[in-house]
Chains A and B, each alone.
Chain A
Amino acid sequence: MRDVLDQFLPLSPATLHILLSLAGEDRHGYGIMQEIARQSEGKYKLGPGTLYDNLQKLIQREWVEELGRRPGDEDPRRRYYRLTLSGRGILEAEITRLAGVVREARSRLQFSRSPAAKPRRA
């Protein structure tokens, strides 16, 4: 199972942010865009074309499922999306991979900053 997930890693930034935005609750497209902007503090903005292009792929891979419209919503055209179990699994695998990258990066940066790592002059 782990090998199956690994073939999709690393995820693209758009895919990662979409999965991450759906990890907490079901959202519609506009809600996903707003959540991504909030998570990245406005540094990463996703347009509707890019969002739905990625959602199309994620639905086809069955990482995200479409829930349809909700009655009483502000805009009846909106449809909601939910993270599936396999989607949650791929997100966890990507987070684990990223955690390893961050851990490795921190250790390298600490090593380069320590005085012992500096070359001695003759």
Chain B
Amino acid sequence: MLRHLYRVTLRLHPPAFRRRFGDEMLSIFDVTKGSSLRFQLLTDCILSLVRQWTLRSDFWNEASAVPVRPAAWNGLPSFSTLDPFRPRASAVIHGVVLTATLFTLTCVAIRYSWIHVLHVQIPEVEFEAPYLHARTISESGQTQPPALQKDSNKNVALPPPSHLYVEPIPVEAAEALQPALTASTSKLVSSTLGKPVPVLRSFQIRLQSYAGTYLSSSPPVTVSITIHSDQLVLRVGEEPERDLSPLSETTFVVEGLEGTELEFAAETDGKFQRLHLSEPTRQTFAQRQ
């Protein structure tokens, strides 16, 4: 074991030193008897290793006095590089110090510079803490945040429309909540593809950007989006009003009309300028009035 460690330590020496004296050092190790003496030799070899790599850079590229063994040395695989050049130890140390200094100065300059060219505005996404901690399950098994329980008819309660609120659902609880979501809180609404899409009621979106009157030339119809009790309501011409349920920030499902979706686009100055009403029988493109 000690001999193996000794050989490995020898193998780590600079190639010129190893080729010239490696065999002899191993020979001395083999002659030495006793574990304590061999352990002393191993310690001496480790010190020699440190010394050769730190203080003897002049000898790293010294021409070997013995033939180079190409494939293996004493049973250990050996490798060689095309370019034997190695920088001086002092040059490496200076490079490390210089790099660390420049990196530190750059970090300080970025942090305390009066030129804020690197300040990037990252869109703010907030998590509603009360939703995370105060989620309750009602007697009917319906899972709702407390703030939403007051308005069970509309099922959506919207805070002041300043941010996009996302309610995370813990992974462990997701499976347990799935029946409740599919039952009532998250209604299953058929999409245009005919597959049920869970409507995530917890998405609370800026409503003012959608509200308004949109005109369509073909077919000639007026599409109005209004807000009733924090709920977006769609009215197409003289047809009855329909509630909108969000699928995403720009896509809504029209409740009561199977396979009908409404998509907003081209938001300018906080208001969407166009909408696309996709029904199974017709497509309506309208422009804000």
Residues of chain A whose beta carbon lies under 8 Å from any beta carbon of chain B: 28-30, 33, 47-50, 52-53, 55-56, 60, 66, 75, 77-79
The size of the chain B interface, using a CB distance under 8 A, is 26
Q: Is chain B's binding surface mostly helix, strand, loop or mixed?
A: helix
Chain B, Cβ-Cβ closest to A29: B24
Q: Which of B220-243 contact A (CB under 8 A)?
A: none
Q: Which of B14-46 contact A (CB under 8 A)?
A: 17, 20-21, 23-31, 40-41, 43-45
A53 and B48 form a contact (CB under 8 A): yes
A30 and B51 form a contact (CB under 8 A): no
- Find A49's partner among B44, B62, B65 (CB 8 Å cutoff): B44
Interchain CA distance A55-B52 in the complex, whole Å: 13
Interchain CA distance A26-B40 in the complex, whole Å: 26
B47 interface residue (CB < 8 Å to A): yes
Chain A, Cβ-Cβ closest to B24: A29
Interchain CA distance A107-B93 in the complex, whole Å: 49
B41 and A52 form a contact (CB under 8 A): no
- Find A47's partner among B31, B44, B59 (CB 8 Å cutoff): B44
Chain A, Cβ-Cβ closest to B48: A49
- A-B complex: 8 closest residue pairs judged by Cβ atoms: A49-B48, A47-B44, A52-B21, A77-B27, A77-B23, A49-B44, A48-B25, A48-B28
Q: Which residues of A have CB within 8 Å of B51? A: 49, 53
A79 and B24 form a contact (CB under 8 A): yes
Chain B, Cβ-Cβ closest to A46: B44
A56 and B20 form a contact (CB under 8 A): yes
Q: Is chain A's binding surface mostly helix, strand, loop or mixed?
A: helix
User: Contacts A47-B47, A48-B28, A77-B24 given; 6 further ones with Cβ under 8 A?
Assistant: A29-B27, A33-B28, A47-B41, A49-B25, A53-B56, A78-B27
B24 and A49 form a contact (CB under 8 A): no
Q: A30-B31, A60-B59, A66-B65 are in contact. Are A52 and B24 (CB under 8 A)?
A: yes
- Find B29's partner among A48, A60, A78 (CB 8 Å cutoff): A48
B28 and A56 form a contact (CB under 8 A): no
Distance in Å from the Cβ of B30 to the closest Cβ of chain A?
Answer: 8
Chain A, Cβ-Cβ closest to B45: A49
- Find B41's partner among A28, A48, A75 (CB 8 Å cutoff): A48
Q: A29-B28, A30-B31, A53-B52 are in contact. Are A48 and B44 (CB under 8 A)?
A: yes
